[in-house]
Structures are given as C-alpha cells and as structure tokens.
C-alpha cells in the first residue's frame, strides 16, 4: 500500500458500485418493458429496483465520505 | 599513555618526488622550504574545502568516503589511507580504503583494544603515530600485514563518541610535517560532520519508515471500519437483488425473452458482491472460518479450476511438497489468493506460450528475509509454509511493482485492481508475508508465506456438499434482522418444499426455540443482529438443541474474538449475498446430513 489513500479507494469503489447499480436498474427496467403484462415477476422486479436504489444510496454515501477525507490525509 | 605524534619542521615530505611545486629537486634553502610549506598548506586547504563542500552538498556518504581517501592519498603522497568506523560491537571496521593490499571494506577490522595502535587514537584529540620501540602500546598486526611502517591515526570526532579513525600509512620511512598534521586533523573533522549528517539521515529515514508504517495501519483501520460498516447493509441488499432475480427466473418459462435480462441482473449483482468481498479482504475484515489447512491439498483441489483461467498456450506446472505442515487459515480466502495470483500470472502471459509454476514447500524465514518482503516486515521470523506462483509472462518494472497492492491500481484493460489488494489483506490478516520478484520480459514470482500451525494436525471438518439427491422437507427457522433477506430466504426455501418460520433477531429466535424448538430441522442464522448477536444465539441454541443444524450467514465478519466460532459446531456458512439456489442447497445438505446421522 504505497499510493492509494482511503479517499481514493472510497471514490473508486463508489464509482464501481454506481456503474453496477446503473446496470441492474437498466436491466430491471428493460425486463419490465420486454414483458409488461407478466404480473408474476412484477413484484420481484420492483424489489430488485428498490434494493438497488439502496445500494446506490450507500455508494453515494461512500462518495461523500471520500470527499470529506480529501485534504485530511497525508500525501 | 598514547604516543603523541611529534611533527617535524624539517621533515622529508617537503622533498616528495614528482610533486608539483615551485622548488627544484635538491633545492633545500630556507626560502624554498617555506615556499613549499605554503604550497602544501594551500593544497591541503583546497582538499579540505572540496570535501567540506561535497559533504554539505549531500554527496552520497559512501561515495564521499571513497573520494576522501583518494584525495588524501594523492595530496599527501602516501601509500594507504583508510577510514575505519566504530561498529555496534565496538570493532574498528574498515569502512573504505585506498591503497590497501589485503583489507576488505566492511570485513577487515582492527583490534578495539585501546592499549594497541591505532585504537589508542580514539582517546586522543590529536593525531597519533606508530608507537616507538619499547612503547607499552602494541601495534595492530594488520599494519604489519599491510606492510605499513609509518602510520598516523586521527579519530573522527562525533558529538557523543568518536565515529572512527582516519588512518594514513606509508610503506617507506617518512615523517609527517606540521602541515600534514593540520591537514589530517581538518579532514577528520570534515569526516566527523559527514558521519553526523549520515547518522541524522539514517534516523530521519527510520522515522519516515515508521510514519509510513503507522499511516498504512491507519489507512487499513479506517478502510476496515468503513468496509465493515457498509458491508452488512450492502450485502443484505444484494441478497434481495439476487434472491428476487432468482425467484423471478423460476417463474418464467425457458423461452421467455425476459430471462436474459434477469441473468444480466444476477451477473451485475454478483460483480458488486465480489467488489465488496475484495474490499473486505483488503481491509483484513473478511476472515471468518479458521481451520487447519494443508496448502498442497488446497492447490490440488483447485487445479482443475485454475486450468480454466489459463489460456491453452500456457502450461501449469504443479510441484507440491509432501507432508507439509498445516496452517491455521480460512481455506476459502486462501483459495481466493491462489486464484487471484494464478489469474494475474495468466494475464501476464496473455495469449503467448508460457508456463505457470505452482510450488508449495516449507522454509525458515529470517528477519532479514522478511524485512525484504513486500508484505510481512513486521512478522516474526520462524517456520513457514509457502505457496509460490511463478510465471514467464511480461514481468513488471519497479514503478509498477511498487503499486501492485494498491486498491484499484491495475495495468489491465478490464481489471478492477482489487485482486492483489485482497491478497494483501488476506495475507496480512493471516500474519503471513509475500515476497515478489519481477523482471520485465522475464516473468514474475510471488511467494506467499504462512506461519505453520503449532500443534499436531486435526481432522478437517469442513462440511462437504451433499452427493445424494437432497431432501426438501422440514421446518427451517430463519433468523435475520433484514426484512428483504427474510422474505427472499422464505420464498426460496418454500419454493423448494420447506416450511419456514422467521424471527427478526436473536432474541425472537430464542423465544421461538424455547416454545417450539423440536419443530425445527435447521436454522439459518444471521451473524450480525442487534440485541443478541448470531454468535450468542448460536451458543444458546446449542444448549437447547446440540444436534440441530445451524447454517450461519453474514455479509461481513465481526472482530475475530466474536466471530471465532468453530466450523465444526455449525453445519455451514453462507456468505452474503447468496442466491436462492445456494441457500436451498446449503439447507438441504444440512437437513440430509442430520437425518443420516440420527437415522431419521
């Protein structure tokens, strides 16, 4: 561990998570649009989207933390 | 008493042959002698000034010493000059020399007996010459060995103690003038200042190294807290994503166009789970199930899987040691380490022909060996077992090598840069070490060292997957504080044929156990819950129903003291986020084994 700082690690982790959340939300929306009449999976897709938004909220908090840490870390 | 050097005013140095100067050979008039002395003094001053300037300019210390002995020998026209340093054990070690015939820098030493010359010079503020015949001072045999007949020694002063000696020697009879003595004195003083500065530089570097070590520790601690703090909630959410995707897939026909979308969702969620797992591992918070592991056995189990990550053009050569001592480790994490290192090796080889060697063995690691390792400088020396992964790939330059364990540092187009960061965390949390060698164009060699377990091996008791067709009947108690996880677990198990009773935390779970404990055939128990933790609940359930299978599940691990449950006490461990399929299989296996053991 030589160059990475907690802030840079958190920022990168948040970036990765946001990408993955976007992917999941995108596919969930596509799944709904592909077969809008299929009521048997609608509830599952709603749960997937809600949980993914929860993950995105965590990623957002990580990004905020990374910004708070910038400037407090030794070079 | 040391022999105080008596300088001569009429000495022969003024007649040195070949020495540039204003006087002609044989001209020994008073005015010529005075002129020559002035010339010698000026030349000496110039040498001292040059050395002082180089010392102040921060010239590399070893280089400065080499330049000093060379310049002094040239200026004084003497056969040999040496700088000796007082070593930690008190010896007078030759640090560097000019014109020495047999001495080896760093190895040859003079006696430290102050009754002998030149060690006696350490007690004098003025230069000391060879003791005359009949002196009680002895002469160090090394001077005879070097053929030195006229020698002068001057201590190199330090603030609290002398750093060493400046020794000037001639192999022919000669005397030293007053100017020579001033010159030797001045050079020794410059050397004293240079030694002082080098000592300060060393102390500063040690301080910086300590600061770096502390900073790294703080980084890891803060990351560990953060990663641990988010992992619990994060993995519960991923259980929900994966669970609902799996349940939705089960509802769909095999030809439904929605299936591919749901599979993509599963893949993305698994990648997110992998990212968290690697972050936790990096921060040293992913360790959970500690057991005795034989590294050779572990590699054998992995070989088939490893071959799938290596291209056809590369060979895997496995060389495993027999009767390897076991290590106390989390086997799943060690598999991850080997997998990550072999994946990196395969990537380094790319599509070109190449070879990956996986070797296990045992070794004694000294403090010196460990101090040179990338990770493990603070590990105690001793007996280790190792697994080494060497490749004939592209290798790495030093600047890349210095960063390979940084999270999110990667040289791969598609890499996330967490593989080696996780390896670092895992090895550190196992109190191990990693040595890395790499040469661009030749290849890279990672050697992972783990301390051997202290006592005799015990049988490994990792629950194995069931081979027979699993049974899906019975009642399962699901204890988890996360509503999403409870729902997904319930739906998944009910779809498989189980009855499910849920509890929102450990206390509610224990209340159910006390009321209707005999109804349950297995328990799915979350480790991280408010009020009564998973470990405490597990302990209480054991008191009521010692034989009841308990499957533990967790999004991350608590500190070791709490999480160190013996794996033999539980039926299995399910890492969150899990899929419905992996949950059902784990519970089926647990129920089937219990039925077999109790003849039900």
What CATH number has the domain bearing residue B494? 3.40.50.2300
Shortest CA distance from B241: residue in chain A:
A48
Q: What total number of domains does chain B contain?
A: 4
| Nearest by CB: A35 against B215, B257, B279 | B257
Question: DSSP letters along B188-245, please?
Answer: HHHHHHHHHHHHHHHHHHHHHHHHHHHHHHHHHHHHHHHHHHHHHHHHHHHHHHHHHH
For residue B220, pLDDT over 90 is answered with: no
The pLDDT mean for chain B works out to: 81
Shortest CA distance from A34: residue in chain B:
B258
- In this prediction, residue B224 carries a pLDDT of 64
Q: How many CB atoms lie within 10 A of CB B26?
A: 7
For residue B408, pLDDT over 70 is answered with: no
For residue B564, pLDDT over 70 is answered with: no
B59 and B166 in a common domain:
yes
- In this prediction, residue B58 carries a pLDDT of 74
B326 and B402 in a common domain:
yes
B163 and B295 in a common domain:
no
For residue B311, pLDDT over 80 is answered with: no
B398 and B299 in a common domain:
yes
**Contact predicate A66/A18, CB 8 Å:** no
- In this prediction, residue B208 carries a pLDDT of 77
- In this prediction, residue B65 carries a pLDDT of 92
> What pairs with residue B434 in β-bridges?
B375, B448
Boundary-marking domain end, from B282, B308, B328: B282
Q: What is the CATH number of the domain that holds B254?
A: 1.10.287.130
B228 and B83 in a common domain:
no
Q: What is the ipTM of this complex?
A: 0.91
Is B469 within the bounds of a domain? no
Cβ separation of B237 and A74 shorter than 8 Å? no
For tokens 């004195």, name the residue.
B185
- In this prediction, residue B387 carries a pLDDT of 95
pLDDT band at A59 (very low <50, low <70, confident <90, very high): confident
What is the pLDDT averaged over residues B545-566? Answer: 67
Specify the range with the lowest mean pLDDT, choosing from B270-279, B316-325, B393-402: B270-279
**Contact predicate B187/B67, CB 8 Å:** no
The strand ranges marked E within B216-353 are 291-293, 314-319, 327-329
Is B262 within the bounds of a domain? yes
B350 and B232 in a common domain:
no
- In this prediction, residue B12 carries a pLDDT of 33
| Nearest by CB: A41 against B258, B264, B402 | B258
B211, B245, B396: best to mutate for the A interface, most A CBs within 10 A: B245
- In this prediction, residue B559 carries a pLDDT of 41
Specify the range with the lowest mean pLDDT, choosing from A4-13, B40-49, B122-131: A4-13
B187 and B74 in a common domain:
yes
Provide the domain limits for residue B244.
217-282
Question: Which residues in chain A have their CB less than 8 angstroms from residue B262's CB?
Answer: 27, 31
> Which tens digits make up the pLDDT trace of B475-498?
999 999 888 888 888 988 998 899
pLDDT band at A71 (very low <50, low <70, confident <90, very high): low
B360 and B301 in a common domain:
yes
Overall pTM surpassing 0.90 (yes/no): no
- In this prediction, residue B44 carries a pLDDT of 81
For residue B1, pLDDT over 50 is answered with: no
Q: Please report the residues numbered 422 through 451 in chain B whose beta carbons come closer than 8 angstroms to any beta carbon of chain A.
A: 424
What is the pLDDT averaged over residues B316-329? Answer: 91
Selection from B203, B257, B215, B195 nearest residue B65 by Cα: B195
B280: closest CA of chain A, how far (Å): 12
Is B461 within the bounds of a domain? no
Give backbone dihedrals phi and psi of B363, rounded to 5 degrees, phi first: -160, 160
Distance CA B481, CA B239 (A): 13
- In this prediction, residue B560 carries a pLDDT of 38
> Which tens digits make up the pLDDT trace of B145-157?
888 888 999 999 9
Give CA separation, B390 vs B333, B341, B342, B591, in Å.
Answer: 20, 9, 9, 43
Please state the domain extents for chain A.
6-69
Give CA separation, B134 vs B62, B139, B406, B454, in Å.
Answer: 38, 11, 69, 64
- In this prediction, residue B285 carries a pLDDT of 64
pLDDT band at A69 (very low <50, low <70, confident <90, very high): low
pLDDT band at B302 (very low <50, low <70, confident <90, very high): confident
- Residue pairs spanning A and B at CB distance below 8 A: 125
Shortest CA distance from B280: residue in chain A:
A13
Cβ separation of B251 and A48 shorter than 8 Å? no
Specify the range with the lowest mean pLDDT, choosing from A8-12, A49-53, B382-386, B396-400: A8-12
B390 and B326 in a common domain:
yes
Residue with more model confidence, B524 or B32: B524
Cβ separation of A45 and B424 shorter than 8 Å? no
- DSSP H helical segments within B57-106, as ranges? 61-76
What is the pLDDT averaged over residues B324-350? Answer: 88
| Angle (nearest 5°) at CA B185 between B180 and B188 | 125
> Which tens digits make up the pLDDT trace of B168-198?
999 988 888 888 888 999 999 999 999 988 8
B122 and B61 in a common domain:
yes
Shortest CA distance from A9: residue in chain B:
B407
For residue B244, pLDDT over 90 is answered with: yes
- In this prediction, residue B20 carries a pLDDT of 36
Residue with more model confidence, B166 or B366: B166
Specify the range with the lowest mean pLDDT, choosing from B84-93, B225-234, B573-582, B587-596: B225-234
Is B464 within the bounds of a domain? no
- In this prediction, residue B473 carries a pLDDT of 82
- In this prediction, residue B213 carries a pLDDT of 65
SS3 of residue B545 by DSSP: coil
For residue B524, pLDDT over 90 is answered with: yes
Shortest CA distance from B260: residue in chain A:
A31
Is B589 within the bounds of a domain? yes
For tokens 């000294």, name the residue.
B366
Distance CA B482, CA B249 (A): 23
For residue B340, pLDDT over 80 is answered with: yes
B102 and B167 in a common domain:
yes
B225 and B150 in a common domain:
no
Cβ separation of B408 and A48 shorter than 8 Å? no
- In this prediction, residue A14 carries a pLDDT of 80
């Amino acid at each position: 561990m030589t160059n990475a700082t907690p802030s840079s690690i958190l920022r990168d982790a948040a970036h990765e998570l946001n990408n993955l959340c976007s992917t999941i939300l995108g596919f969930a929306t596509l799944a709904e649009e592909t077969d809008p009449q299929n009521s048997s999976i609608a509830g599952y897709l709603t749960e997937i989207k809600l949980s993914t938004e929860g993950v995105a909220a965590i990623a957002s908090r990580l990004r905020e933390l990374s910004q708070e840490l910038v400037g407090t870390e030794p070079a | 008493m040391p022999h105080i050097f008596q300088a001569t005013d009429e000495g022969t140095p003024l007649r040195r042959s070949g020495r540039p100067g204003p006087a002609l050979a044989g001209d020994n008039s008073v005015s010529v002698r005075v002129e020559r002395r002035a010339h010698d003094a000026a030349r000496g001053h110039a040498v001292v000034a040059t050395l002082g300037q180089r010392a102040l300019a921060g010239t590399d210390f070893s280089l400065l010493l080499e330049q000093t002995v060379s310049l002094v020998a040239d200026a004084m026209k003497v056969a040999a000059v040496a700088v000796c340093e007082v070593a930690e054990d008190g010896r007078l070690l030759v640090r560097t020399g000019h014109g020495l015939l047999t001495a080896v820098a760093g190895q040859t030493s003079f006696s430290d007996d102050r009754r002998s010359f030149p060690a006696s010079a350490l007690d004098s503020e003025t230069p000391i010459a060879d003791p005359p015949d009949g002196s009680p001072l002895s002469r160090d045999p090394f001077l005879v060995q070097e053929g030195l007949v006229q020698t002068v020694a001057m201590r190199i002063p330090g603030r609290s103690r002398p750093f060493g000696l400046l020794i000037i020697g001639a192999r022919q009879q000669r005397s030293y003038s007053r100017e020579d003595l001033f010159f030797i004195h001045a050079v020794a003083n410059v050397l004293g200042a240079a030694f002082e500065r080098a000592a300060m530089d060393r102390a500063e570097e040690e301080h910086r190294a300590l600061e770096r070590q502390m900073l790294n520790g703080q980084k890891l601690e803060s990351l560990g807290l953060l990663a641990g703090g988010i992992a619990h909630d994060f993995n519960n959410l991923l259980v929900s994503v994966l669970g609902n995707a799996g349940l939705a897939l089960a509802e769909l026909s095999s030809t439904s166009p929605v299936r591919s979308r749901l599979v993509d969702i599963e893949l993305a969620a698994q990648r997110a789970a992998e990212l968290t797992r690697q972050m936790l591992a990096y921060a040293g918070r992913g360790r959970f199930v500690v057991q005795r592991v034989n590294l050779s056995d572990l590699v054998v189990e992995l070989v088939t899987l490893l071959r799938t990550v290596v291209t056809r053009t590369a060979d895997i050569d496995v060389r495993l040691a027999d009767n390897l001592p076991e290590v106390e480790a989390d086997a799943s994490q060690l598999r991850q380490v080997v997998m990550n290192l072999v994946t990196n090796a395969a990537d380094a080889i790319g599509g070109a022909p190449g070879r990956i060697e996986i070797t296990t063995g045992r070794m004694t690691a000294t403090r010196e060996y460990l101090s040179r390792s990338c990770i493990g400088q603070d590990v105690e020396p001793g007996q280790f077992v190792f697994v080494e992964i060497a490749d004939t790939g592209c290798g790495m330059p030093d600047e890349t090598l210095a960063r390979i364990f940084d999270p999110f540092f990667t040289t791969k187009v598609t890499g996330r840069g967490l593989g080696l960061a996780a390896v670092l965390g895992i090895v550190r949390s196992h109190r191990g070490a990693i040595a890395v060698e790499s040469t661009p164009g030749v290849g890279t060699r990672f050697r992972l060292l783990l301390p051997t377990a202290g006592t005799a091996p015990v049988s490994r008791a990792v629950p194995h997957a069931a081979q027979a067709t699993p049974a899906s009947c019975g009642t399962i108690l699901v204890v988890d504080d996360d509503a999403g996880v409870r729902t997904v677990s319930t739906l998944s198990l009910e779809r498989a044929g189980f009855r499910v009773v849920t509890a929102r935390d450990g206390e509610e779970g224990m209340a159910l156990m006390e009321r209707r404990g005999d109804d349950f055939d297995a328990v799915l128990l979350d480790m991280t819950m408010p009020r009564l933790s998973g470990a405490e609940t597990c302990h209480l359930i054991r008191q009521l129903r010692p034989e009841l299978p308990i499957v533990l599940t967790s999004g991350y691990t608590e500190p070791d003291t709490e999480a160190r449950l013996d794996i033999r006490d539980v039926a299995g461990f399910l890492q969150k986020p899990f899929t419905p399929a992996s949950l059902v299989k784990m519970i089926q296996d647990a129920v089937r084994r219990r039925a077999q053991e109790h003849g039900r």
